[in-house]
Structure 1
Amino acid sequence: MKKKGIVAIVGRPNVGKSTLFNRIIKEKKSIVEDVPGVTRDRLYGDAEWLTVPFILIDTGGITLQDTKFAKEIKMQAEIAIKEADLILFVLNYKDGICPEDNAVLKILYKTNKPIILVINKYDKKDDFNNSYEYLSLGLGEPVLVSSTHGIGVGDLLDRITQNLPNSDDIKEDESIKVSVVGKPNVGKSSFVNSLLGEKRMIVSDIPGTTIDAVDSSILVNNKKFLIIDTAGLRKKGKIYENLEKYSYIRSITSINKSDVVLLMLDISLPITDHDSNIGGFAFQESKPIIIIANKWDLVQKKDSNSMNKKEEEIRSYFKYLSYAKILFISATEKIRVNKVFDIIENVNQNLKKRIKTSVLNEIFNKAQLINPSPSHNGGRLRIYYSSQVEAYIPTFVLFVNDPSYAHFSYKRFLENQIRQHFDFSGVPIKIIFRDRRN
């Protein structure tokens, strides 16, 4: 499985970090204002260049001055640096190298991570005649950019993709990596403790006890699992404390590096939109997902049909996760906890499942006879040929008369046809329409 690289933008206040962040992720996600210290929190965004995806982190400016939030901002930046595979050290061309730049650089020197020196607010009309001063920093040739006007950003993105670790070259262990995510106090740590058979996590009824993501290895039926317990994800508006901001990005990066995501709910309480939003993080990353309905022992007035009713309730909230498996457990009472390993293995096998091209074409040919494509964008979709291609998640390429004729409802119908013939439960499916003439 390919893991996205993580790139952190670091520098003193008012060098244009947030503008550069927005330029690279192609949206105005970070607050931009020409006042030092506006960006207090780390923000993250998905970026891609030349088919190489990566996660970009924007940080608050590190300052020597004893200003409001200065210590917190420094802590936030150091956390981002710790998470990053690559660091963009940004300077302001118009100011040259300042004492605060050197203070930031002292922090970066200790990381032993690749660093790209970025000189921002550069105008091509200016003669770059002080290159020796920047080379003396020991970070190699700087990249000159104007994040406001987009000058040099393409060159910077080239350097980023060249310096990110190649996931194909990274030899990972054979463990199935499983991240446990959910709101605070849904029982994630109790669940992990039950899986491990020991109290490795601190368990408390106080929300937010788990600050960092914790990795624990376990061997079950000669299969290695790496269980990653993450801090509870609060709503963004409720992320006040610095350690909570840290836990937020750690949870996101944990989802990124996992093979399977366990989305945990407190089933004794009503499901909320925030539960659904957390599942959305894993869905956007195209991760296999298992929904763990915890605290089943606390559900009142149970009968023989209670579990079916609760499953219907979960399905109605997580319509976008129709493929996800659901397991009802009690972590504290250790009810059905160990069944999760069998489900994870099943999902992992489904992830690797391959369908013969001849069988696949037969399925889609019959599908078109049963339910012809509706008219859309001035024409009807016609599938001529299909095949499954090598990819992290099951991916099917359909060669058609015109991809623009594919209505989303018909795409969903075709996905359901695949799922009816083959067990892809727990695993997302990707269908790509290609013009057969190309």
Structure 2
Amino acid sequence: MSFITPTDRPQAANRPVNGSASGATNGAATPQPPAGQDAKVAIVGRPNVGKSTLFNILTDSRKAVVRDQPGVTRDLLIERAEFWGHSFDLIDTGGLTEAKDPFSKLIRAQVTEFLATVDLALLVMDGRDGLLPEDREVVRIAKEAGVPFVIVVNKIDRQHEVDLRLAEFHEFGVDLIATSFEQRRGLAQVLEWLDRHLPKAGVSAPMEGLTVAIVGKPNAG
């Protein structure tokens, strides 16, 4: 794992809206957005895995509230991000849980519907907690949506723990990126994955931006 330098950080135009170890996808071809349309990338995951922290790092902002408690992000939060010649919208989503209360069900329905509209997804999981049922649900939703994704396993703070912490996540059969958002480790690999899968300037039709969504259980970061 490596550190991201300040010069590697994406720059963002503020636009909030309510509402192993390499970078392979889940096997689906990365779709190219139609000319004149923005592409989309989502950050998804269960609560408290680090989604909002990753969102703030990639957009170079503090729009997403970061607290060590589940359920902090309840609406979609969208910011424009730019790095390495790419321009796209990054979307932080509410944390997914298996709770049966109406609000949790609403969040699941919102994220499920939203994932069908994005072009890429970063599925954030917690290496300390290990693989939980909500994580499997996140992967199931992403696969059903047919969106190319990578699993970003956060909170792996020690290099010698990488193989151990990633072991159970290999059951999904997709590539994993080991990270520690707090220590800024592994972020370069996240950017490299996005760079490989975002439309290249001068190759596809001109686009105004690309939307990236971050999905995961609540409070995963």
| TM-score normalised according to structure 2 size | 0.71
Name 2:19's counterpart in structure 1.
none
Q: Write the distance in 2 (CA, Å) between the matches of 1:57 and 1:5.
A: 11
Q: After the TM superposition, which residues 39-54 of structure 1 pair with which residues of structure 2 at under 5 Å, given as runs?
A: 39-54=73-88
Change (3 A) 1:152 1:62: same
What is the percentage of aligned positions where both structures have the same residue?
Answer: 36
2:173 corresponds to which letter in structure 1?
G
CA distance in 1, matches of 2:36, 2:155: 34
1:10 lines up with 2:44 in the alignment: yes
Q: How far apart are 1:30 and its partner, in Å? A: 0.8
2:217 equivalent in structure 1: none
What displacement does 1:14 show? 1.2
Deviation at 1:126, TM superposition (A): 4.3
2:147 aligns with: 113
| Contact 2:95/2:107 (8 A) holds in 1 | yes
| More contact order relative to length (CA 8 Å, sep ≥ 6) | 2
- Structure 1 residues 166 and 113, CA, compared in 2 at 3 Å: closer, same or farther? farther
2:85–2:201 contact (8 Å) kept in structure 1: no
Q: How does 1:19-38 map to 2 (within 5 A)?
A: 19-38=53-72
Paired with 1:16 and 1:122, the residues of 2 have a C-alpha distance of: 12
| Higher percent of residues as helix | 1
Q: Is the 8 A contact 2:116 2:146 kept in 1?
A: no
Q: Tell me, what secondary structure is at the counterpart of 1:61?
A: coil
Correspondence for 1:133:
168
| Residue 117 of structure 2 corresponds to residue 83 of structure 1 | yes
The amino acid that maps onto 1:112 is: G
Tell me by how many angstroms 1:145 deviates.
1.4
Distance 1:68 1:28 in 2: 29
- The structure 2 residue matched to 1:149, chosen from 183, 192, 197, is 183
Deviation at 1:70, TM superposition (A): 0.2
Q: CA separation of 1:168/1:81 partners in 2, compared to 1, >3 Å: closer, same or farther? A: farther
Question: Which structure 2 residue ranges, 5 or more long, are not aligned?
Answer: 1-34, 211-221
**Farther-moved stretch of structure 1 (124-133 vs 70-79):** 124-133
Q: Supply the RMSD in Å over aligned alpha carbons.
A: 2.4
Relative distance call for 1:4 and 1:157 in structure 2 (3 A) is: farther
Of structures 1 and 2, the larger Rg is shown by 1
| Count of equivalent residues | 175
CA–CA distance in structure 1, aligned partners of residues 135 and 58 of structure 2: 22
Between the aligned partners of 2:201 and 2:120, the Cα distance in structure 1 is 14
What is the rounded CA distance, in whole Å, between the counterparts of 1:169 and 1:17 in structure 2? 31
SS at 1:40 equivalent: coil
Cα distance per residue 1:6-60 (max 9 Å; x no partner): 2100111111101110111011001111111111101011112212111100001
Q: Does 1:104 align with 2:138?
A: yes
User: Deviation of residue 75 (structure 1)?
Assistant: 2.3
Unaligned segments of structure 1, at least 5 residues: 173-254, 258-438
> Aligned in 2, Cα 1:57/1:40: closer, same or farther, shift over 3 Å?
same
Q: How far apart, CA to CA, are the structure 2 residues paired with 1:90 and 1:23?
A: 14
The runs of at least 4 aligned residues of structure 1 exceeding 4 Å deviation read 1-4, 167-172
Displacement after TM superposition at 1:79 (Å):
3.4
Contact 1:89–1:116, Cα closer than 8 Å, also in 2 = yes
